[in-house]
Chains A and B, each alone.
Chain A
Amino acid sequence: MGIHWRRLRQRQLSKRVQAGSRFLPTTGINPVRPGLLPVHDDHAQEWIIEEIGMTRFLFALIVIVLLGVSLAGAVLAQEPTCEDAIGCVTLAPDDPVTIAWMQTVSGPTSFFGDDAVGGIEIAMEQRDYTVLGREIELIGEDSLCNPEGGQTAAQRLVSDPQVVAIIGPSCSSAAVPAIPIASNAGFLMVSPMTTSSALTNPDRDAGGVWMPGFFRTVYNNLLEGAVAAQFAYEELDARTMATIHDGSNYAFDLALATERNFVEFGGEITFSGAVNVGDTDMSAILTNIASNPPDVLFFPIFQPEGDYLVAQAKFIPGLEDVIMLTADALLVEGFPIDSGEAALGVMLTGPAVTGEPYEAFLELWFDKYGEAPPSGFHAHSFDAANMVLDAIEAVAITGEDGTTLVGRQALRDAFANYRDFEGLTGNLSCSPTGDCGAVESMVIFIITEAEVFEGKWPPTILWKPGSEESE
């Protein structure tokens, strides 16, 4: 016992000596001029001088000087300073660049989210998950397709100051609460598939919810509605129209925009109603429409309700001559395949996402996931991801010590300044209020036998706004 005790004391003593020497430089004690010491205890002072000795003093002095020089050098020459109005993301030399998506990846709308995430992942893969010479860390948050989901996901993402940009959300209903959260936190949020006109409308009195920092690579419903109405009135010579939405922000807004434009052209709306998400039997609403058949039935709804509607319309007496016009919600490779013969002659408004780059993209998708994309927004997501990465590369400032700063306002400005970005969905130019969707590429497609039986995709383009003759 006794020996133990002694050993312990010895160890404590030697520790004390070490501690004294280690703390010496930082406490500012200068043994050469003992008068400057904060004298509390004469014994302590003596003890320090006795224990440490002269060589150690010199050594310590050199260390202090070296440290001081290097610190001063770092401050003066190497550390970049953030001059951004709303702050920067600071990336230490080894930090990855964190990009976040918030999409609906669970529940009945998860096919949207999977579609978007797939597009984002392919965009990242094409760059080997590298931007600014750093690794990209892609994180995700499930924002569902409702306000609660959007709120929660946005709150979680903005709580991480390393997140440079958010790609999402999937649904306009989730975007409404997410926009102010992301905007107030200084984040950049780019949505690849929310088309509601309110989202990029800054006028609160008119129901707008836009705030700085929100952009979308998909077009505005107002645009699509105008094209749909123009096509119906001028090209199809339709004078009456019925619309069906599904209660979603997207479908309701688009149906409304189309109705307004159609009425402005001089047309008449004979019926405007809605189905529920989850309905399988569409005979009730179709019979209602058939009681006063319109020239055109516009139904901007999604799978599977859109499939059911198209398939069942064939059996409703009175709808034989009605032209079925839908929107990009059904611009999905599975739609003609799933609906079969019933889809023949169905027309769709949507972006002319065609051409070789898109086909190459589809091939990549197929190699990665083994099946066709589950919805029609993968190309917009791909563009959104690329635009975000390009913007980051444009605004990032790297100091000599390897620290990188990404200014949040600079990032927003870079987005707002996008002009003719060549994406899969066309040439994207951003408006000051966040509309980046490629406007010139809105066309009317038609489903023909090639799409139904031979799997041709994207479908045949029937008409382009501005073109006099339909093909």
Chain B
Amino acid sequence: MTQTRTVSRNKLFGIPLPAGHTGVDLIISALRIIIVALIIIGAGNTLLEGRFTFEQWLALLFAGLAQGSIYALIALGYTLVYGILRMINFAHGDVFMAGAFTTVFLANSFRQSGFLDSQPLLAILILMGFAALVSMTVAVLLERIAYRPLRNAPRLVPLITAIGASFFIQYTFRGLFGSGFKAYPTVAFLRGTFSVGSINVPIAQLFVFVSAIVLMICLYWLVERTRIGKAMRSVSEDKEVATLMGVNIDLIIVFTFAIGGALAGAAGVINGLFRPQGVNFFMGFFPGIKAFTAAVLGGIGNIPGAMLGGMFLGVIEAIGPNLVLNGLGIPSANQLKDVIAFTMLVLVLIFRPQGILGERLSAEKA
């Protein structure tokens, strides 16, 4: 009797499934096979066709890594806040914008005064510090005004608030600086290229990649090796117990937002030096979404995961359209690069629902 019931429960279109499998499992397996097959066919076609040289692929790889580094830097802020509060701070992309947009004026005055060319490294550090300060202020105010009153509200409430806050920040900055586009000055030493084998890699790409790695390591060290990092991890584990142990939760949460904001501000300047154009009040929106995707891809709440997710997404976006979609004969492949990015997200999540480096999502964390 029991056996019959088990069998009847695991049927798909009337066909009995192997023991322990459900229809959902089968569909997911089929999805895995289809997506992987499409990718292999597309990539195989493109490579056999030989349209792109090895150097071009390498150039794409480096461009993707650099773009991914920007995503990663923003993703760190998402993952940090999620790790502590289990809340998706959708306004984080706009915190990034706040720093980048405000600092563009300082950067241009540095260029005009000649400071940027005479002391480029010092100037860049000052710019990053200033942007970090601006973004940090915005992030801390955001936490204090928009999120703290809702900390014990149902989870959807702060999410919607975050979207509202995102608009608020955008239009505040539009009111301050207008809706036109600004651009960062180009720094002389970032303009050149260096050779790796037979290809020339722009130094700006290396700069953004190295900066992202350095900032990620600093953040990782902060969270894993310092006293306040320990407090952050304890709040992340269990707020009540952390309180009992004498951790000032409010302070830790403000600190988390401050660090995330400062990173976003620094990312804004790094982004500005890497891709000087397109600074305007809406610049945080798309990178914000991509960075969130990157954070999920890497395993949200996990710092190296955010880094890896960002790089992965950047590389996929750069290589994917040419490698897979061209091979499948899809016209206007580049327009579908988001499709590639999100297909990869789906692919990773159906193999590893917790993300590339994600920990188990226990009931209380999820």
List residues 321-336 of chain B with CB under 8 A from any CB of chain A.
Answer: 321-322, 326, 331-335
Question: Which stretch from B1-9, B48-56, B293-301 is at the chain A interface?
Answer: B48-56
Residue of A nearest to B66 (CB): A281
Give the number of residues in A that approach B within 8 Å (Cβ atoms): 49
Given A107-B282, A278-B286, A288-B326, decide whether A311 and B182 contact each other with a Cβ distance below 8 A: no
B271 to chain A, nearest CB (A): 8
Chain B residues with CB under 8 Å of A184's CB are none
What's the Cα separation between A414 and B181 when bound, in Å?
38
Q: Is B276 located at the chain interface by the 8 A CB criterion? A: yes
Chain B residues with CB under 8 Å of A304's CB are 181, 277-278, 280, 283
Chain A residues with CB under 8 Å of B319's CB are 284
Q: Is B239 located at the chain interface by the 8 A CB criterion? A: no
- Residue interface mask B58-76, A partner, CB < 8 A = 1: 0110011001001000000
Chain B residues with CB under 8 Å of A307's CB are 181, 183, 277-278
Q: Is B193 located at the chain interface by the 8 A CB criterion? A: yes
Q: Is A372 located at the chain interface by the 8 A CB criterion? A: yes
Chain B, interface size: which category?
Answer: 35 or more
Q: Is B260 located at the chain interface by the 8 A CB criterion? A: no
Q: Is A358 located at the chain interface by the 8 A CB criterion? A: no
Residue of B nearest to A276 (CB): B335
- Residue interface mask B159-193, A partner, CB < 8 A = 1: 00000000000010010001111110110000001
Given A280-B275, A283-B59, A308-B277, decide whether A114 and B181 contact each other with a Cβ distance below 8 A: no
Q: Are B183 and A273 in contact (CB under 8 A)?
A: no
Chain B residues with CB under 8 Å of A96's CB are none
List residues 299-349 of chain A with CB under 8 A from any CB of chain B.
Answer: 303-305, 307-308, 311-312, 315-318, 332, 334, 337-341
Chain B residues with CB under 8 Å of A312's CB are 63
- Residue interface mask A370-385, B partner, CB < 8 A = 1: 0111110000000000
Q: Is B337 located at the chain interface by the 8 A CB criterion? A: yes
Q: Are A279 and B337 in contact (CB under 8 A)?
A: yes
What's the Cα separation between A308 and B317 when bound, in Å?
16
Total of A-B residue pairs, C-beta within 8 Å: 140
Q: Please pick, from B51, B60, B202, B331, the residue contacting A284 in the complex, using a CB distance under 8 A.
A: B60
B233 to chain A, nearest CB (A): 34
Chain B residues with CB under 8 Å of A108's CB are 282, 285
Given A288-B334, A291-B52, A372-B180, decide whether A338 and B276 contact each other with a Cβ distance below 8 A: yes
B326 to chain A, nearest CB (A): 7
Q: Are B181 and A374 in contact (CB under 8 A)?
A: yes
B9 to chain A, nearest CB (A): 44
What's the Cα separation between A308 and B52 when bound, in Å?
22
What's the Cα separation between A281 and B71 when bound, in Å?
12
B59 to chain A, nearest CB (A): 7
Q: Is B338 located at the chain interface by the 8 A CB criterion? A: yes
Given A273-B333, A274-B332, decide whether A338 and B182 contact each other with a Cβ distance below 8 A: yes
Q: Is B318 located at the chain interface by the 8 A CB criterion? A: yes
What's the Cα separation between A290 and B178 when bound, in Å?
36
- Residue interface mask A256-287, B partner, CB < 8 A = 1: 00000000000000001111101111011101
Given A114-B179, A290-B56, A315-B193, decide whether A106 and B280 contact each other with a Cβ distance below 8 A: no
Q: Give 28 CB contacts A-B under 8 Å.
A: A107-B282, A108-B282, A113-B179, A114-B180, A247-B335, A275-B335, A276-B337, A281-B64, A281-B314, A281-B317, A281-B318, A284-B60, A284-B322, A284-B334, A285-B321, A287-B52, A288-B322, A291-B52, A304-B278, A304-B280, A312-B63, A315-B59, A317-B59, A338-B182, A371-B178, A371-B180, A374-B180, A375-B180
Query: What residues of chain A have their CB less than 8 Å away from a CB belonging to chain B?
Result: 106-108, 110-111, 113-114, 247, 272-276, 278-281, 283-285, 287-288, 290-292, 303-305, 307-308, 311-312, 315-318, 332, 334, 337-341, 369, 371-375
Q: Closest 7 CB pairs between A and B? A: A304-B278, A374-B180, A307-B277, A338-B183, A283-B63, A278-B286, A285-B334
